[in-house]
């Protein structure tokens, strides 16, 4: 038998949200939390079912944020729809900024790796490559889109002390 609580929102979360709106010293009964839990769950199921029906009619299997906003509006909850649209827009913008920052960090790390791992090349070439990677990252480009990687030469360091091997050790 399925537990009745399985399909409901977590009561602790519902209670926490209720407390945010009430004065600090207010008390909330267990029954009030349970009723709000049931109402909130029913409301979300109602909106989600409407969005799911729309997706089904459009032969789509995934309900997205735009579908939820449409459902809110279609069900007459225009104020909620407008607020949700604004939130969704800000959320997507933040995700784009986060992805761009990650790409920027990856490009800067690649520039640092090139400088650290390159030896035997003219340092001006390495600096130019690092600068081009940095500039690409500032323009939101991935490394390799408009830049080319120079051939790199790698040499093993001597064991233990982190120094370069002598000429005799290099040719063995």
Predicted pLDDT at 5: 60
Range of the domain at 137: 77-154
* Residue 62, in any domain of the structure: yes
96 in the same domain as 39: no
**pLDDT value at position 7?**
85
Residues 76-111, buried b or exposed e (16+ Cβ, 10 A)?
ebeebbeebbeeeeeeeeeeeeeeeeebbeebbebb
User: Considering 26, 47, 76, which residue would you say is the last residue of a domain?
Assistant: 76
The domain that holds 32 is classified in CATH as 1.10.20.10
Contact 68, 47 (CB under 8 A): yes
What does the alpha-carbon distance between residue 109 and residue 117 come to, in Å, rounded to a whole number? 12
Residue 168, in any domain of the structure:
no
pLDDT for 146: 46
What is the pLDDT at residue 148? 47
Q: What is the mean pLDDT of each run of 10 residues along the chain (172 residues)?
A: 70 94 93 95 95 96 94 94 93 91 76 58 58 59 48 49 49 48
Tell me which H or E stretch contains 74.
Answer: helix 65-74
The reported pLDDT for the residue numbered 149 is 44
Q: Based on the domain organization, do 61 and 86 belong to the same domain? A: no
The last residue of a domain, from among 24, 44, 76: 76
Task: Answer yes or no: do 26 and 85 share one domain.
Answer: no
Count the domains in the chain: 2
Is residue 88 a contact partner of residue 65, using CB atoms and an 8 Å limit? Answer: yes
| Residue 104: predicted pLDDT | 78
Which residues contact residue 47 at a Cβ distance below 8 angstroms, ignoring those fewer than 6 apart?
Answer: 68, 71, 72, 75, 77
Please check whether residues 103 and 145 belong to one and the same domain: yes
pTM above 0.75, yes or no: no
Domain stop point among 76, 98, 122: 76
In this structure, are 142 and 105 located in the same domain?
Answer: yes
pLDDT at residue 160, rounded to an integer: 53
Q: Is residue 59 part of a domain?
A: yes
């Amino acid at each position: 038998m399925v537990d009745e609580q399985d399909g409901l929102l977590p009561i602790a979360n519902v209670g926490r949200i209720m407390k945010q709106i009430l004065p600090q010293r207010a008390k909330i009964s267990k029954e009030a939390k349970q009723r709000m839990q049931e109402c909130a769950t029913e409301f979300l199921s109602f909106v989600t079912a409407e969005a799911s029906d729309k997706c089904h009619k459009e032969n789509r299997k995934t309900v997205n944020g735009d579908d939820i906003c449409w459902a809110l509006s279609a069900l007459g909850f225009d104020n909620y729809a407008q607020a949700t649209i604004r939130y969704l827009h800000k959320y997507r913008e933040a995700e784009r900024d986060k992805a761009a920052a990650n790409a920027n960090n990856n490009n800067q790390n690649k520039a640092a790796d090139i400088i650290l791992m390159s030896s035997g090349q003219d340092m001006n070439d390495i600096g130019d490559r690092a600068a081009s990677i940095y500039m690409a990252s500032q323009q939101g480009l991935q490394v390799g889109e408009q830049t080319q990687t120079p051939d790199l030469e790698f040499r093993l360091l001597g064991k233990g002390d982190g120094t370069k091997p002598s000429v005799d050790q290099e040719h063995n």
